[in-house]
Amino acid sequence: MLRTNGLTKEFGGLTAVDDVDFELGDELCSLIGPNGAGKTTFFDLLTGALEPTRGTIELRRDGGAGESDGWRDVTDASPDETAALGVHRSYQITNVFPTLSVLENVRIAAQAGGDDAATFWRNVDAYDEYVEEAREILDRVGLAGRAEDVAENLSHGASRQLEVAVALAGDPDVLLLDEPNAGVSSESVDDIVALIEDVAEDHAVLLVEHNMDIVMEVSDRVVVLNQGAVIADGEPAAVREDPAVQEAYLGGYEPGDLDRRGEESADGEPGSGGIA
Ligand SMILES: Nc1ncnc2c1ncn2[C@@H]1O[C@H](COP(=O)(O)OP(=O)(O)OP(=O)(O)O)[C@@H](O)[C@H]1O
């Protein structure tokens, strides 16, 4: 689906992403690591928002027949080109139009990703199709009842759901979910976790998430970044036990230390919503 080879990003003397070889298959992979580890920079490189200093990024679409063995070099692709090639990021606040309705936001995203984007405005049938598609996506993310609400009036949780809906409307192969629980109220966390698991059924998902209980619950695989470099990559339980990961990030974390809402667990210390 997506792979990087020697991917590196330097900001002056600081190496934010350091020689990362990574491949994402048809799976839910979480990317974790301490503050400043390079997770956001890595996402920015994958979406074309930042240009790498060195290394390559390649994509392979389902059934696609690109160059060589189907992999296509997208290292220099712009964010729009990367999106058109099937990589979408959920936390794209600029992709949500605050004064438009929830339905309009998703309809526009579906239209932008549609085959007849250029001519759609002349085509009433196409418009109806996109509205229909948008309603199906809203149903999937749990926002069917909020279709006519104005986007800027949504709660944090519903906003995260809308961001995922907008990403889904572009018909992505790969979804990059950037802290989809950030700012979400405790009542909505279960909905977001269910949504992450649902979209992972038919998309490759790369998730940045600070709450380790959620990471351990939903991930097929966990990759740990520290100071820009991958220090562990494997199944959640194995990564959790890895001494280097414990040292760099988890600091003695055991499942249940934090409940998924970041509240005090039965026998633990008060949680912070995750591990920073
Ligand atoms: N535009 C920039 N210019 C200079 N340094 C930057 C820039 N963006 C990020 N950095 C630095 O790169 C390093 C990696 O930052 P990044 O935001 O990718 O980490 P992160 O793992 O996403 O952290 P967090 O969990 O806090 O979001 C940090 O030291 C950060 O200060």
Atom of ligand 1 nearest to the CA of 33: 21
Q: Could you tell me where in the chain the CATH 3.40.50.300 domains are found?
A: 1-86+174-179+204-253
Atom 29, ligand 1: which residue's CA is nearest?
Answer: 36
Mutate to test the pocket of ligand 1, among 7, 30, 32, 35 (most ligand atoms within 8 A of CB): 35
Q: Quick one: which of 109, 129, 137 has its CA closest to 198?
A: 137
Assess contact for 39 and 92: CB atoms under 8 A. Answer: no
Name the DSSP letter for residue 85.
Answer: T
In this predicted structure, the answer to whether residue 134 has a pLDDT above a threshold of 70 is yes
Identify the band that residue 184 occupies on the pLDDT scale cut at 50, 70 and 90: confident
Q: What percent of the chain has pLDDT over 90?
A: 59
**Region for 250 from its dihedrals, namely left if φ exceeds 0, alpha if ψ lies in -120 to 50, beta otherwise:** alpha
Phi/psi at 172 (5° precision)? -80, 160
Mutate to test the pocket of ligand 1, among 7, 10, 40, 224 (most ligand atoms within 8 A of CB): 40
Q: What is the DSSP string of 41-73?
A: HHHHHHTTSS--SEEEEEE--TT---STTS-EE
- The pairing of beta strand 87-89 with beta strand 174-178: parallel
Q: Is the CB of 274 under 6 A from ligand 1?
A: no
Mention the CATH class of domain 1-86+174-179+204-253.
alpha beta
Assess contact for 48 and 81: CB atoms under 8 A. Answer: yes
Assess contact for 103 and 134: CB atoms under 8 A. Answer: yes
pLDDT at 272: 39
In this predicted structure, the answer to whether residue 93 has a pLDDT above a threshold of 60 is no
Atom 1, ligand 1: which residue's CA is nearest?
Answer: 11
Atom 16, ligand 1: which residue's CA is nearest?
Answer: 38
Note the ipTM here.
0.97
Residue type, 213: D
pLDDT at 257: 61
Q: Is the CB of 11 under 6 A from ligand 1?
A: yes
- Mean pLDDT for the stretch of residues 143-148: 96
Atom 12, ligand 1: which residue's CA is nearest?
Answer: 16
| Strands, E assignment, 87-169 | 87-89
Q: Which residue has the higher pLDDT, 29 or 191?
A: 29
Three-class DSSP category at 231: strand
CA distance 243 to 146: 46
CA distance 35 to 23: 23
CA distance 31 to 208: 5
Which tens digit of pLDDT belongs to each residue from 223-240? 999 999 999 999 999 999
Least confident range of 40-44, 80-84, 116-120, 184-188: 116-120
Q: Is the CB of 219 under 6 A from ligand 1?
A: no
C-alpha triplet 150, 185, 250: angle, nearest 5°: 130
In this predicted structure, the answer to whether residue 95 has a pLDDT above a threshold of 80 is no
**Region for 59 from its dihedrals, namely left if φ exceeds 0, alpha if ψ lies in -120 to 50, beta otherwise:** beta
Assess contact for 181 and 157: CB atoms under 8 A. Answer: no
CA 56–ligand 1 middle distance (angstroms): 20
Highest mean pLDDT: which of 62-71, 112-121, 165-174, 248-257?
Answer: 165-174
pLDDT at 67: 47
Supply 200's token pair: 């992972």
